[in-house]
Structure 1
Amino acid sequence: MPKVVNMAERKDFVEEINKALAKSEGFTLKDLLFSYQGTPYPVTVCSAETFQALENLEARRDDLVLVSYPKCGVNWLIQILNDLIFTTTQSKYVSAELPFIECGDPDKYQRIKQIPSPRILATHLNYDRLPKSIFENKAKILVLFRNPKDTAVSFFHFHKNAPSFPSYSSWDEFFSEFMNGKVIWGSYFDHAVTWNKHIEDENIMVVTYEDLKENLTSSVKQIAEFFGFPSTAEQIQSVADRATFQVVKEKAQETHGPVGPILFRKGVVGDWKNLFTEAQNQEMDAKFNACLGGTKLGAMLKYDVYCKV
């Protein structure tokens, strides 16, 4: 059984987040990024040594693996999963580690061996960058996607609002870097194309941010069934009631410290309309069609519904 959460661990977790952000003070964007196997990552939380050690992560069959490109709502999904664990087992744990497996020091993979099952392993990595043990041990992988226009806008605001985090001089500059895959964790479209190839693999399920917003109860039920949580309809509903974006946002300071309101900023669908120019709309539309037009993931993202004026 997972251990009961204690406030010391919650405090440690918040401190880890604050430490990571504090490390970026005085950095320029150029200084912030380092490249590993061709993809840019932030030096404040990632290192080549950690990526090398990540290969040794020992996944378990009952690990709950959560994948998303940055700013697609994975912190929200982590909250939902934590609540599902608590609701179905009446106990939960909070790890003091940074929630993403590629973030932290190289020794973290030894420490997370001590975390009882079920562990939540979150990541922004592509399919082919995940530790092989995840596939060898047949851990289930839940992949979260969000429409690319809102993802880009949310990513821009994160850079702009996070304390001490280097920002872009303008939305136009960020948009250009986003479209060229030069932002941290690389290209949204490369990420999407790679995961689309595995969308029908056994042990992989894809959910969208937009579905979570529109059909939260139904989405929570799907997630619970996918991970095998023995939950009743009443339990599913109670988790969904506590997991609306508004409720999670209101508690963000308590759960994530000062960075909480930045991680859970607006949570709306269609915020891209406040920043995109017509030329940027056309560029993104063309890129989406070239990369995901006619694909299963492309259909799931309902681009014409969420990304057209």
Structure 2
Amino acid sequence: MSKQRKTFITLVEKAMADAEEMAPEDLVFSYKGILYPSTVCSPEAFKALESFEARSDDVFLAGYPKSGTNWVGQILTDLVATSRKNNEGTRSLDDDELEEFPYLEVGDAEKYQRMADLPSRRVIFTHLTPQKLPASVFMNKAKILLLIRNPKDVATSFYHFANRLSPLPSYKTWGDFFTAFMNGEMVFGSYFDYIFEWNKHTDDANVMTITYEELKENRALGVKRISEFFELQLTDEEIQGVVDRSSFQAMKENSEKTHGAFGNVLFRKGGVSDWKNIFNEDDNQKMDATFEEQLGGTKLGEKLKYKVYCKA
């Protein structure tokens, strides 16, 4: 197991243990108007993040929580690791990597100084909106893979996730959660604001958008497109290996090694249209109206194919 994977497991399991001893109101804090989980984030780290220096060859994955970032994050990490093996003279992460959690905003305030010593290419995940990212990300034109997923499945997945993970606020009923979700009272903020803000960058040359649903429909094509976007120079055989290792079943079976006890929470269904098992008619009407009002006519709104995936 890599040092980074051990760090992932250690940090999450500590957060889960710490949360068991905390009062519900202490599980989150607000920073510049957005809620964050206090077991893994801090105001001090967010302040330090402002001076983080991104590199032009960094590999960024941006996605709202429960949009599939852990799944696609594995795909990206596997692609970069496979590419690295093909490049002689590249520093080996096995020898030199520091122990850092892959999500940019998660960790202590000194994390970003340590990240400066990481060899290229760094694979970095984030749930932040573009205006919350360090200015250097866009100034240095780091490439960003933007992952989006239909809001009804995001909400459904988020509900189950929050109620199974102690560091996040839990909800007595689906109705309580749905109200909070629609009002943007979630850790990492509003889903609709997230998509709206990233929509401003859809035409940026260094941003590629992919949907959870299209990856589910044709994972092989999606992985190939991602590899080409980041110019990773992999053979068809190598890409197929990444595809095989990133199936939901393969990841679920390997979750204890990759995510520890957190894997039981993280890998639940991994499908499309699970929202139909929990949304009622009133929920559908409210979500449909809000989506049309806030994202209707936008490029990302169109890319989400709302009428295909979200109509009852």
User: Do residues 132 (structure 1) and 135 (structure 2) align?
Assistant: yes
Secondary structure of 2:54's match?
A: coil
Tell me which residue corresponds to 2:73. Answer: 78
Deviation at 1:253, TM superposition (A): 1.2
User: Do residues 162 (structure 1) and 165 (structure 2) align?
Assistant: yes
Deviation at 1:180, TM superposition (A): 0.2
Alignment of 1:93-172 (within 5 A): 96-163=99-166, 165-172=168-175
Deviation at 1:294, TM superposition (A): 1.4
- For 1:67 and 1:198, the matched residues in 2 are separated by 12
Aligned residues of 2:104 and 2:126 also touching (Cα < 8 A): yes
Aligned residues of 1:82 and 1:92 also touching (Cα < 8 A): no
- For 2:118 and 2:16, the matched residues in 1 are separated by 25
- For 1:190 and 1:208, the matched residues in 2 are separated by 17
Aligned residues: 304
What are the Cα deviations for residues 119-148 of structure 1, in whole angstroms up to 9, with x where unaligned?
A: 111110011011011111110011100100
Tell me which residue corresponds to 1:191. Answer: 194
Secondary structure of 1:100's match?
A: coil
Deviation at 1:165, TM superposition (A): 4.5
User: Do residues 292 (structure 1) and 312 (structure 2) align?
Assistant: no
Secondary structure of 1:24's match?
A: helix
Secondary structure of 1:308's match?
A: coil
Task: Write out the 4+ residue segments of structure 1 that deviate beyond 6 Å after TM superposition.
Answer: none
Q: Which amino acid aligns with 2:299?
A: K
Tell me which residue corresponds to 2:89. Answer: none
Aligned residues of 1:26 and 1:164 also touching (Cα < 8 A): no
Q: Which amino acid aligns with 1:82?
A: T
Q: Which amino acid aligns with 2:180?
A: E
User: Do residues 264 (structure 1) and 263 (structure 2) align?
Assistant: no
- For 1:194 and 1:208, the matched residues in 2 are separated by 16
Counterpart selection for 1:88 from 55, 63, 83? 83
Secondary structure of 1:105's match?
A: coil
Deviation at 1:28, TM superposition (A): 4.1
Deviation at 1:30, TM superposition (A): 2.6
- For 1:7 and 1:64, the matched residues in 2 are separated by 19
Counterpart selection for 1:48 from 38, 43, 50? 43
Q: Which amino acid aligns with 2:310?
A: C
Q: Which amino acid aligns with 1:17?
A: V
What are the Cα deviations for residues 82-114 of structure 1, in whole angstroms up to 9, with x where unaligned?
A: 111222232655753222111111000011112
Counterpart selection for 2:6 from 8, 11, 19? 11
Tell me which residue corresponds to 1:57. Answer: 52
Identity of aligned residues (%): 53
Alignment of 1:32-47 (within 5 A): 32-47=27-42
Tell me which residue corresponds to 1:3. Answer: none
Tell me which residue corresponds to 2:205. Answer: 202
- For 1:284 and 1:27, the matched residues in 2 are separated by 33
TM-score (ref. length: structure 1): 0.94
Aligned residues of 1:17 and 1:98 also touching (Cα < 8 A): no
Structure 2 unaligned spans of 5+: 86-91
- For 1:26 and 1:168, the matched residues in 2 are separated by 18
Secondary structure of 2:41's match?
A: coil
Q: Which amino acid aligns with 1:52?
A: K
What are the Cα deviations for residues 198-230 of structure 1, in whole angstroms up to 9, with x where unaligned?
A: 111120011111111111001001100111100
Structure 1 unaligned spans of 5+: 1-5
Secondary structure of 2:77's match?
A: helix
Counterpart selection for 2:248 from 242, 245, 250? 245
Counterpart selection for 2:16 from 17, 21, 31? 21
- For 1:9 and 1:294, the matched residues in 2 are separated by 41
Deviation at 1:25, TM superposition (A): 1.4
